[in-house]
Amino acid sequence: MSLLAIRHLSHAFGGLRAVADFNLELQPGELVAIIGPNGAGKTTVFNLITGVYRPTEGQIVFQDRSLIGLQPHAIIGAGIARTFQTIRLFRELTVVDNVRIAWYGRTSYGLVDAVLRLPRFTREEGRIRRRSMDLLEIFGLAPLAETTSKNLPYGQQRRLEIARALATQPSLLLLDEPAAGMNPAEIGQLMELIQSIRREFHVTLLLIEHQMRVVMGIAERIKVLDFGQTIAEGTPVQIQHHPRVIEAYLGEEEVG
């Protein structure tokens, strides 16, 4: 059984077809990358999966359940988490609060428990704080728990965003250009981090990335998009020698 099955997914903004007939099957435990020039529709696919946009056409089935029409929070609750191309932390909140929020959908106390500070609230809050700190520990952010997140260096903001996504306890994690803006040393660390996340958290990973070093180094399977169309699909070696991929990337360089 596949974890995620996307069939004939299309999305149009007005007259512009951002994604056309996109198909993807993810098996549990896989690490798949989506690459393509800017504007190819990669992030739109993520936005369609997580319910930010509602697709014009097609199906998205996650663990045998259709995601079409669900609100983002319900999709996160079903076990999908994501990060963003440009960092979207809750900038004015502390590092630990950024992570604690991610337990929102799994919090077992209600509004009355919270407002009256009933024992159920105190127990659950303690649990959330401990587990958030454990997670920050893994990401090397525990000493910075009380820091306002906007004051973190860029690389740590990226790590915090991944930690926050993992706090929702996903079985599928979508990473949108995690290496964007990182220097070569940071990229090396990131690749190790992604591998260790895979081992420790048993998540399936779908990755958008421009850094060929990351994509070729860790992805098992690659899909290439251009102008919303899937132009190639295969292993890293197959993709590197695919004529249409070379064409798409060279074509973009000329324009750029």
Name which of 157 and 204 has its Cβ closer to another protein. 157
Question: Which of the residues 179 through 198 are near another protein (CB under 8 A)?
Answer: 181
32 with 2: CB under 8 angstroms? no
Closest among 93, 83, 148, 98 to 128, alpha carbons compared: 98
Name which of 70 and 232 has its Cβ closer to another protein. 70
Query: Is 11 one of the binding residues for another protein (CB under 8 A)?
Result: no
Closest among 64, 85, 84 to 72, alpha carbons compared: 84
197 with 189: CB under 8 angstroms? no
| Stretch in the footprint of another protein (CB under 8 A) among 33-41, 164-172, 220-228, 246-254 | 164-172
Query: Is 138 one of the binding residues for another protein (CB under 8 A)?
Result: no
Name which of 145 and 216 has its Cβ closer to another protein. 145
Helix ranges (DSSP H) in 20-143 = 42-49, 72-78, 95-101, 111-115, 119-138
Contacts of 17 by beta carbon, 8 Å cutoff, 6+ apart:
10, 11, 228
Name which of 91 and 202 has its Cβ closer to another protein. 91
CA–CA dist 229, 22 (Å, integer):
7
Name which of 55 and 219 has its Cβ closer to another protein. 55
- Locate tokens 């070696």: which residue? 237
Determine if residue 181 is left, alpha or beta; phi over 0 gives left, psi from -120 to 50 gives alpha, anything else beta: left
Query: Is 44 one of the binding residues for another protein (CB under 8 A)?
Result: no
Query: Is 50 one of the binding residues for another protein (CB under 8 A)?
Result: yes
Question: Which of the residues 65 through 124 are near another protein (CB under 8 A)?
Answer: 71-73, 76-77, 81-82, 84, 86-94, 96-97, 100-107, 109, 111, 114-117, 121
Name which of 31 and 163 has its Cβ closer to another protein. 163
- Collapse the DSSP code of 176 into the 3-class scheme (helix H, G, I; strand E, B; otherwise coil) and give the result: strand
Query: Is 251 one of the binding residues for another protein (CB under 8 A)?
Result: no
Query: Is 145 one of the binding residues for another protein (CB under 8 A)?
Result: yes
- Here the tokens at position 228 are 């919303």
* Helices and strands: H and E segment counts in the chain: 10, 10
| Stretch in the footprint of another protein (CB under 8 A) among 140-148, 194-202, 209-217, 242-250 | 140-148
- Here the tokens at position 241 are 């020698």
Residue numbers at the binding site for another protein (CB under 8 A):
50-52, 71-73, 76-77, 81-82, 84, 86-94, 96-97, 100-107, 109, 111, 114-117, 121, 125, 128-129, 133, 142-148, 150-151, 154, 157, 164-165, 167-168, 181
